[in-house]
Amino acid sequence: MLTRIPVLLALLFWIGPGWAQDPLPSSLSSPTPALVSEDEPQDPGLDDLDPSPDPELPTQASDQAPPGEVWDRIRSGFALPDLTDEQDSRLVAKQIAWLAARPDYVERTLNRSRMYLFFIVSEVQRRGMPTEIALLPLVESAYNPHALSRSQASGIWQFIPSTARLFGLHKDWWYDGQKDVVATTYSALDYLQRLYDEFHSWDLALAGYNCGEGKIRREIAYNRARQLPVDFGHLNLSDETRNYVPRLLAAKAIVLSPEHYGLILPPIPDEPYFSSITTHKKIDTKVAAQLAGLSVDDFLMLNPGFNRPLIQLSANRTTTILVPVSAASSFIAHLDDPDLTLVSWQTRQLQRGEAIDRVAHEYGMSGEELKRINGIAPNRRIASGGVILVPLSKTAETGSSAPPADLPASPPEAELSAPPPKHHPTHGKTGKSAHLSPTPHGRGHSKQGTHAKGTKRTSSARTRKPSSHAPAP
C-alpha cells in the first residue's frame, strides 16, 4: 500500500498541469478573432467618434440590441387596400416599373429621407394612420424640402401659399413655413385626417389632398345622382390625380419587397435623428451649422425654412432650430457661451439716394452678392427706407466672417418639372398636435418652449445634399 502512494502522487502531478490548461467547452468559449472579423466588421472610425464610454451607461449597455430599421416599422403599419379597378392596377404596375428602372433615383430619394422619416412615421403612427402616408413625400417632392413647383407649391409636402396660410404656416422675410419640415408634417397630416373624416376612404382622402376636396365632392355628387359607384376608381379625375394614389402604392410595393425589384433600401435606424432647440438668440446660419456639426447645405436641408444667413424672428417669438441628436447638448452649451460670437450680420435701413451697390462696396462685397443674400432680384431696386441685411462690421474680409449666399432664389434641383394641382381645402377648424414639441414656427400646432437662459432642448425626432427630382410618369 505504501508503495502505491508515491505512484499516485506522481500520476496526479503529471496529469494536473494538463488538466488545468484545458480550454473551456466550446459552448462557453469566446469567438475567435476570425469569427469576430467575419460577423462583426469593425469600423476604424468609430473610436474617433466616441473615444470613451458614457459613464452614465450601465456596464451591460453594450449587450443591448441596436435599434432596428425604420423600414420594418413602416411595413408593419401598412394598411391601405389595393386598388381593385383593373385600370388602376395597371397604373400601379406602371409606377412600380418606373421606380424599378431607376435605382439611382430611388436611392437618392430615400437617402434624402434619412433626416425626416423617423419623425414622420412616428407622427403618422401616433395618429393611427396607415404608415403608407409616411411615404407620401416621396410622391410629392422626393423628400426635397427645397422642392418648388411652378404653382409655388413647396416643401416636402408641397403646400401652396393659400393652403399654408389656412393651416397657420407663417411666412415672412426671415422664415418660410411652407418649407418647415416639422410644421408642414403636422399640417399635412391634419389635412389628410380631415379629408378622411369627410370621405371615409384613404383613397379619396389622398385624391382630395392632390386636387382639392371640392373636386372630390363634386364628382361624388355627380356619380350618386346617376347611381354610379363613388369609389376612387369610378370618379372622373384628372390624369395627375388618377396617377397619384397608384404612385403611393408603387412606393409601398418597393418598400415592402425591394429585393423583388432589384432595389436596395438605405439603412435608416428606427431612432430620432434630430432634436428641437428653442432660443431667443440670433445666430448666423453658418455658425449654427458649425455648432450642429453639419455643412451649411445639410443644415438647410434640416432647417429649410430659414431664408437668410442670419436666423432671427421677431422679438416676441422664439426660434426653433433642428440639430442632430448627437449635437444637441453641445449646441445648447455653445449658445450659452458668452465668449462665442454667434452673429456677424445686422439689418440696415437704406437712406434716400443710397444704392445697393454703394452699400455693398462699404462692406467689401459686390452688389450682386448683397442682393442675392437679401433675396433681391438682380434687376430690382430698393426704395429708400427699405431694410436689408449687411455684415456686422465694415471690412473687406467679409468672406471669413460672414456666411456666403446660402439661399439662392431657386435652390439647385428644387423645381418639379410637372407640378400637380394642389390642395384647395374649404375653411374649417383643423386639429392640433404636439408630438414634437415645439413645432418650429408653425402657428396652431404646438406651443413654443422657453428657457431661462434663452435656449432649450425640447425633444427629438439623418442627411445628404438634395438630388434631382424627376417626377414619376
Q: Tell which residue, 422, 397, 414, has the closest CA to residue 465.
A: 414
132 counts as catalytic: no
Task: Tally helices (H) and strands (E) across the chain.
Answer: 19, 7
Please say whether the beta carbons of 112 and 466 come within 8 A: yes
CA separation for the pair 253, 93 (Å, rounded): 10
Give burial (CB, 10 Å; 0-12/13-18/19+) of 157: buried
Would you state the cell numbers that stand for residue 197, as one nine-digit string? 373624416
- Catalytic pick among 123, 140, 213, 219: 140
Phi, psi of 323 (to 5 degrees): -135, 155
Helix (H, G, I), strand (E, B) or coil at 69: strand
Contact yes or no for 442/180 (Cβ under 8 A): yes
158 φ/ψ sector (left φ>0, alpha ψ -120 to 50, else beta)? left
Contacts of 87 (CB under 8 A, 6+ apart): 233
d(CA 268, CA 335) in angstroms, rounded, equals: 30
Distance separating alpha carbons of residues 78 and 91, to the nearest angstrom = 20
Q: Which triple of cell numbers denotes residue 266?
A: 438605405
Closest CA to 439 of 425, 463, 462, 459: 459
Distance CA 153, CA 414 (A): 11
Q: Which of 365, 376, 382, 378 is nearest to 407 (CA)?
A: 376
Euclidean distance between CA atoms 48 and 364, whole angstroms: 40
Catalytic residues: 140
